[in-house]
Amino acid sequence: MNIFLGVLLIVWGSMVLYSSLFNLKNKEYKDKGVLGVSGYIELEFLLKLLNKLPLALVKAVIVIIGLTFIITGIVIF
């Protein structure tokens, strides 16, 4: 079970890193949704807050999250 979770976290972290470094463009970064439509007001508020930050900072946070998944997967593996 540990091997499965380790591999899953490594693959997941790799996908997060790939999408952050190569696929995240400025137009995909901007959230054009209206606050309160989906029912998940906390998530929508977080996305609105992230839209106020520079794109480079958001990419750095996503890279850190991806690396955390990979490192956790390696430790579990």
Tell me, what's the pLDDT at 71? Answer: 93
Of 10 and 20, the one with more pLDDT:
10
Tell me, what's the pLDDT at 74? Answer: 92
Q: Both tokens of residue 76?
A: 């579990």
pLDDT tens-place string over residues 29-61 = 555 666 666 666 776 777 777 778 887 887 888
Mean pLDDT along residues 16-33: 68
Give which of 73, 53, 59 is closest to 18, Cα–Cα. Answer: 59
pLDDT tens-place string over residues 60-74 = 888 898 899 999 999
Record the pTM.
0.68
